[in-house]
Structure 1
């Protein structure tokens, strides 16, 4: 027998009613909500058993959480999301490019119209900086496994600001 769940927003505005098996996991509930509300893809959803409660783990079953027929589950829209791999690639691409521009074309940024050649130390520093970030880009693209699929898009600007302008 299926459980009929009422889905409401955190502001207690009813969204829809869904039917799922008692053995269903929270990820299944998210999929059902996404079917009824196209704008709420599963990456954007945070499900809670109480309005001010904590997020429910995707692998928890409805039965283990005590949901019964007619129970209410609350969904919070997390907003636009971006994949973690993409975040790291964007973050780590900026520093070597910005450093190279400052190192190779200082006349663009400083009041010195002369084109002074880079010293050996500056050249070595540029190479080391670039190799360091290329290694990070490689690791982000091919080595790392991310525990979460996405993060809010608004955090990308804060993260890039930290890496690009420090």
Structure 2
């Protein structure tokens, strides 16, 4: 195999071309998709190489594994061509997650802190035990999410288009629920168990990937014998605890919308596992909720 590859570069979007895109580039045969992005960005005068999208000329699909070597891809070696697109300004996925989960924290803490300024008769209407419980559960959930984002999660993709940050944050910032002892206790127990199980699954998934890596392994352990994505199952379970404690329809709307999105992600992961691991992967009938989804 040649030590270098000469690759033709073609604008994937003729209506929005990269004006300074070189006609060809020479890259080492062992160069990764990430390396090629950096080369294309440098020669095209684009400062952030994460803006460069590289697509397979045969399938027109993006190369998701940024550490894949171009010299080992049959379609690239055969066609000696890459489709290139400027994806626009980018934002780091870790930043996206931090911003998403920050909204509910600020909203709920702010509602409590500024309550005396929002209600004239606040002294005669103190927070009930249920409101305090649900407040603590909401904030605890999203603080855990923030800590996981900082210290647990590993991202296969470095960035996403910055314009999507508003769409991603809208759900978390816009849909946050408002704030009988036995029922509260049951809700609290379900919430805590769900959060602990969810965190356990996240830690296991994180252990399957090296820092900065894109490799995939077959997950196992708590919940994986039941569904493809037990982290989603346990997250929904924790929110069931919040619904029980709050008895508020807005919380139900919040998790119903979230569950619909998680179901789509879970179905995609099941499909990806089957495609990548074949017979080594034990196929799951249900991807998120046993007996339902």
TM interval, shorter chain, is 0.7 to 0.9
Kindly indicate whether the alpha-carbon contact (under 8 Å) linking 1:26 and 1:62 is maintained by their aligned counterparts in 2. no
Residue in structure 2 matching 1:138, options 132, 147, 159: 147
Shift of 1:60: 3.7
Q: Which structure dedicates a bigger proportion of its chain to strand?
A: 1
> Any unmatched runs of 5+ in structure 1?
none
CA 1:146–1:86 in structure 2 vs 1: closer, same or farther (change >3 Å)? same
> Any unmatched runs of 5+ in structure 2?
176-293
Q: Which structure dedicates a bigger proportion of its chain to helix?
A: 2
Residues matched between the structures, number: 164
Partner of 1:147: helix, strand, or coil? coil
Q: CA RMSD in A?
A: 2.7
Aligned to 2:71: 62
CA 1:165–1:71 in structure 2 vs 1: closer, same or farther (change >3 Å)? same
Q: TM-score, normalised by structure 1?
A: 0.81
Shift of 1:53: 0.9
CA 1:147–1:66 in structure 2 vs 1: closer, same or farther (change >3 Å)? closer
Aligned to 2:89: 80
Residue in structure 1 matching 2:44, options 13, 37, 40: 37
Residue in structure 1 matching 2:165, options 138, 156, 162: 156
Deviations along 1:101-144, one digit per CA (max 9) or x if unpaired, are 234434666xx532232222212221221111111111111111
Deviations along 1:13-69, one digit per CA (max 9) or x if unpaired, are 572021123443333322221220231633112212428711134304235335469
Q: Distance in 2 between matches of 1:88 and 1:163?
A: 10
Q: Distance in 2 between matches of 1:43 and 1:49?
A: 17
Q: Which moved more, 1:46-55 or 1:27-36?
A: 46-55
Aligned to 2:13: 11
Kindly indicate whether the alpha-carbon contact (under 8 Å) linking 1:45 and 1:75 is maintained by their aligned counterparts in 2. yes
Partner of 2:111: helix, strand, or coil? helix
CA 1:68–1:86 in structure 2 vs 1: closer, same or farther (change >3 Å)? closer
Q: TM-score, normalised by structure 2?
A: 0.49
Q: More relative contact order in 1 or in 2 (CA 8 Å, sep 6+)?
A: 1
Q: Distance in 1 between matches of 2:52 and 2:58?
A: 14
Whether 2:114 is the aligned partner of 1:105: answer: yes
CA 1:95–1:33 in structure 2 vs 1: closer, same or farther (change >3 Å)? same
